[in-house]
């Protein structure tokens, strides 16, 4: 306990660090001593220096700027988050008290009671100079070149980005909203045409279903070009396969017939008749594409 803060301080034998925590607590005193005697009222005694010349309101003596007092400092309010302090001082020439407060709004001190402030603020305008706090709203920017650059950039942005964008948006808007009647009639015309096609197709489908006794709910394939070409291709493939098979069979039959005729030329009319019949059958089987797919 004393190891850290024990220099130049007397610790009585009955002092217990655990119990008393600090020497001030052991002695029953505040760390600020006598200056904290009114701390329970929120008052701290501080050294305060007069920020300007005043006349004491009680003894009417002039008290110069810079005279120091033991003032009672007290927080009396706040300007936004800045506390407002009051300093209550006792005149050193009489027993009168005067009070000075801080004024955060105007960053200054004001005499509240018990004294008069000597009005001696320097006003440059009265003395032929310029006002310090010139409330001129039309004052130019601090750096004219920077301002010019900034305004040029802004102008370029307006010309190159904002105006074209606005124009294109306006164009779109005009195209969409300029003639609602024409747009509506165009739309309805298109709709009517599509409806007509749909109706015709449905009628044709119904007819087809009626003819072949197909169920009403059956979906018929659409007769578009893609579907037609696919169907034609499929048909062509089927025909090629069929032709290949037929030619194989025909070759086999012919070889059989040749062998039979060579072995018994003119002697077996039944075999030759059979071969001729088969050959005819093959010719009649050669398929032709249906009219719809030609
Ligand atoms: Zn006085």
239 vs 217 pLDDT, higher one: 239
Look at residues 140, 95, 139 and name the one whose alpha carbon lies nearest to residue 114: 95
- Residues facing 43 on adjacent strands: 74
Look at residues 74, 84, 133, 72 and name the one whose alpha carbon lies nearest to residue 109: 84
Distance from Cα 96 to the centre of ligand 1, integer Å: 5
Distance from Cα 99 to the centre of ligand 1, integer Å: 12
Distance from Cα 183 to the centre of ligand 1, integer Å: 94
Distance from Cα 47 to the centre of ligand 1, integer Å: 18
Helix (H) or strand (E) holding 279: helix 269-285
* 3-class DSSP state of 43: strand
DSSP symbols for 155-200: HHHIIIIIHHHHHHHHHHHHHHHS-HHHHHHHHHHHHHHHHHHHHH
Distance from Cα 253 to the centre of ligand 1, integer Å: 150
Query: What is the average per-residue pLDDT within 74-99?
Result: 93
294 vs 139 pLDDT, higher one: 139
Check residue 131 and give its pLDDT.
59
Q: What is the pLDDT of residues 173-182, one digit of tens each?
A: 888 888 888 8
DSSP symbols for 78-143: EETTEEEEEEEEE-SSSS-EEEEEEETTTTEEEEEESEEE------TTTTTS--SS---TTPPPS-
Percent of the chain exceeding pLDDT 70 equals 81
Distance from Cα 89 to the centre of ligand 1, integer Å: 10
Q: Check whether 133 has a pLDDT greater than 70.
A: no
Check residue 267 and give its pLDDT.
58
Strand order in the sheet with 43-49: 43-49, 68-79, 82-90, 97-103, 108-113
DSSP symbols for 227-254: HHHHHHHHHHHHHHHHHHHHHHHHHHHH
Q: Check whether 35 has a pLDDT greater than 80.
A: yes
Distance from Cα 53 to the centre of ligand 1, integer Å: 13
Candidate from 1-10, 81-90, 244-253 with smallest mean pLDDT: 1-10
Distance from Cα 120 to the centre of ligand 1, integer Å: 21
Check residue 141 and give its pLDDT.
60
Distance from Cα 77 to the centre of ligand 1, integer Å: 27
Residue 114 CA to residue 101 CA, distance in Å, equals 12
Distance from Cα 61 to the centre of ligand 1, integer Å: 6
- pTM as predicted: 0.38
Q: Check whether 294 has a pLDDT greater than 50.
A: no
Distance from Cα 143 to the centre of ligand 1, integer Å: 53
Maximum mean pLDDT: which of 24-33, 73-82, 127-136, 214-223: 73-82
Check residue 75 and give its pLDDT.
94
* 3-class DSSP state of 290: coil
Distance from Cα 115 to the centre of ligand 1, integer Å: 9
Distance from Cα 267 to the centre of ligand 1, integer Å: 168
Distance from Cα 106 to the centre of ligand 1, integer Å: 27
Domain boundaries, the chain: 32-117, 194-221, 225-293
Check residue 145 and give its pLDDT.
80
Per-residue pLDDT band for 4 (boundaries 50, 70, 90) equals low
Q: Check whether 101 has a pLDDT greater than 70.
A: yes
Distance from Cα 98 to the centre of ligand 1, integer Å: 9
Residue 294 CA to residue 291 CA, distance in Å, equals 5
Query: What is the average per-residue pLDDT within 269-288?
Result: 71
Distance from Cα 63 to the centre of ligand 1, integer Å: 8
68 vs 122 pLDDT, higher one: 68
Query: What is the average per-residue pLDDT within 101-109?
Result: 92
């Amino acid at each position: 306990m004393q190891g850290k803060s024990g220099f130049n301080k007397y610790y009585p034998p009955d002092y217990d660090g655990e119990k008393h925590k600090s020497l001030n607590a052991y002695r029953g005193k505040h760390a600020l001593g006598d200056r904290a005697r009114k701390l329970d009222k929120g008052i701290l005694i501080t050294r305060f220096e007069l920020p300007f010349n005043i006349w004491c309101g009680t003894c009417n003596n002039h008290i110069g700027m810079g005279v120091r007092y033991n003032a009672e400092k007290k927080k009396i309010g706040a300007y936004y988050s800045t506390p407002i302090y009051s300093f209550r001082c006792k005149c050193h020439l009489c027993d009168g008290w005067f009070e000075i407060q801080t004024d955060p709004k105007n960053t200054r001190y004001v005499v509240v009671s018990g004294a008069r402030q000597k009005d001696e603020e320097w006003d440059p305008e009265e003395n032929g100079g310029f006002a310090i706090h010139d409330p001129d709203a039309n004052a130019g920017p601090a750096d004219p070149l920077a301002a010019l650059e900034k305004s040029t950039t802004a102008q370029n942005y307006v010309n190159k980005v904002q105006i074209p964008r606005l124009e294109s948006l306006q164009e779109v808007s005009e195209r969409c909203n300029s003639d609602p009647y024409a747009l509506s009639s165009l739309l309805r015309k298109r709709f009517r045409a599509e409806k007509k096609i749909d109706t015709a197709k449905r009628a044709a489908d119904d007819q087809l279903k009626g003819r072949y006794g197909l169920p009403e709910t059956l979906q018929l394939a659409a007769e578009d070009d893609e579907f037609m070409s696919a169907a034609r291709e499929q048909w062509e493939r089927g025909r090629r396969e069929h032709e290949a098979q037929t030619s194989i069979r025909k070759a086999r039959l012919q070889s059989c017939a040749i062998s039979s005729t060579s072995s018994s030329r003119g002697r077996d009319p039944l075999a030759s008749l059979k071969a001729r019949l088969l050959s005819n059958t093959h010719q009649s089987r050669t398929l032709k594409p249906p009219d719809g797919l030609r």
